[in-house]
Amino acid sequence: MILGLRPGALRMSDGGLRARVDLIEDLGDTAVLDLDCAGTMIRMRVSDGNIPGEGDTIAITARPRDIHLFDPTTRMRL
């Protein structure tokens, strides 16, 4: 299966997957973070002014309803 998450669905948390902030794209009232999560690059959107720094390690999580699963062969949503 392929797991899909929209950048706005990810949240920083006290527990969860550990990810290193590789790049911060400041968009004014929001920022998009490029994260390295165990060798997989993912993007996260933050807008609360609590923006970590490049090189920081953060913990991330998502609500189950925000997780999308796809078939790796057909790319169809399951």
**Is 78 a member of any domain?**
no
* Tally of CB atoms within 10 A around 15: 8
**Is 33 a member of any domain?**
yes
Q: How many domains does the chain have?
A: 1
Query: Which residues, in sequence order, are CB contacts of 32 under 8 Å at separation 6+?
Result: 7, 24, 25, 43, 44, 45
**Is 50 a member of any domain?**
yes
**Is 75 a member of any domain?**
no
**Is 77 a member of any domain?**
no
| H or E element in which residue 5 lies | none
**Is 53 a member of any domain?**
yes
pLDDT tens profile 2-45:
999 999 999 999 999 999 999 999 998 899 999 999 999 999 99
**Is 36 a member of any domain?**
yes
What range does the domain containing 53 cover? Answer: 2-70
CATH of the domain at 42: 2.40.50.140
**pTM for this predicted structure:** 0.86
